[in-house]
Amino acid sequence: MPKRKKEKGPPLSYRSTIAEKMRYRLHSVAPRLYPGAQCRLSGRDAVALTIDDGPSETTRDLLSILESESLTATFFLSGAAVEVHPDLPGVILEQGNAVASHGFAHASMLRKSRKGVQEDIARSLSVIEKTSGQRPTLYRPPYGRLHPLHYGLPRAQGCRLVLWNVFIGDYDHRIDVPELHRRLATVRGGDILVLHDQAASFDRTSACLRLLAGMLRIRDLQTMTL
């Protein structure tokens, strides 16, 4: 008689694990340890919405939501994705949003040499400038990680290092939507929050944008670009 397969129970709620709670805290707190990186706004009468990893197949849909909800965002664009969608940086700007650099290849900068980091930043700045007509002055490394010895490299290319203080996790399908809502409910004036422009998580990101817009209206806050 064949062995009965052991039935799997319902998956544990991801947010309920201690590991995930710690990961969320770490993602939101760790950027503040970077010397010289901007993680919050100086004033408290607005929040900065930042959107990483685009452009993508769903950027235009995100832009429609931003427009209908009267939100503006700073898009930290990946150079390689810009090469696939060269028309989108200009469209993002036309709508009153800002474009910034998220590097070129979206690889971790921790393992790259000084020269490798310099080249990745330079390549992204060049393709974003070529396609949008604007050279970015802000840089956010992929995964928000940069080796301490390389902190000065973005500035040497005319870019301020910008991270965040509120990490939502919209791209991570293991985090349930009520938990995303709980994280968004913590947003206050002066925060820099990060969402993602990825086709695979568009539904979750758009839900976050609509909820954020509602909360900002209640708190009489606006979004500003960096």
Q: Which residues bind Zn ion (CB under 5 A)?
A: 52-53, 142
Q: How far is the CB of 184 from Zn ion (least distance, A)?
A: 19
Q: How far is the CB of 90 from Zn ion (least distance, A)?
A: 21
Q: How far is the CB of 217 from Zn ion (least distance, A)?
A: 28
Q: Specify the residue, 67 or 83, whose C-beta has the smaller distance to Zn ion.
A: 83
Provide the b/e sequence for 185-211 (b: ≥16 CB within 10 Å): eebebbbbbbbbbbeebbebbbbbbeb
Q: Which residue's C-beta sits nearest to Zn ion?
A: 52
Q: How far is the CB of 16 from Zn ion (least distance, A)?
A: 26
Q: How many CB atoms lie within 10 A of CB 178?
A: 10
Q: Specify the residue, 31 or 142, whose C-beta has the smaller distance to Zn ion.
A: 142
Which structure tokens are listed for 152?
A: 């000065």
Contact of 196 with 202, CB cutoff 8 Å = no
Q: How far is the CB of 183 from Zn ion (least distance, A)?
A: 18
Q: Specify the residue, 20 or 53, whose C-beta has the smaller distance to Zn ion.
A: 53
Q: What does the alpha-carbon distance between residue 166 and residue 111 come to, in Å, rounded to a whole number?
A: 25
Q: Specify the residue, 58 or 216, whose C-beta has the smaller distance to Zn ion.
A: 58
Q: How far is the CB of 43 from Zn ion (least distance, A)?
A: 26
Antiparallel, parallel or unpaired: β 222-223 and 192-196 = unpaired
Q: Specify the residue, 201 or 223, whose C-beta has the smaller distance to Zn ion.
A: 201
| 75: Cβ contacts below 8 Å, ≥ 6 apart | 50, 51, 52, 54, 55, 89, 92, 97, 98, 99, 100, 197
Please, which residues bridge with residue 47 across strands? 223
Q: What does the alpha-carbon distance between residue 70 and residue 66 come to, in Å, rounded to a whole number?
A: 6
Q: Specify the residue, 53 or 191, whose C-beta has the smaller distance to Zn ion.
A: 53
**Angle 219-222-226 from CA coordinates, rounded to 5°:** 135
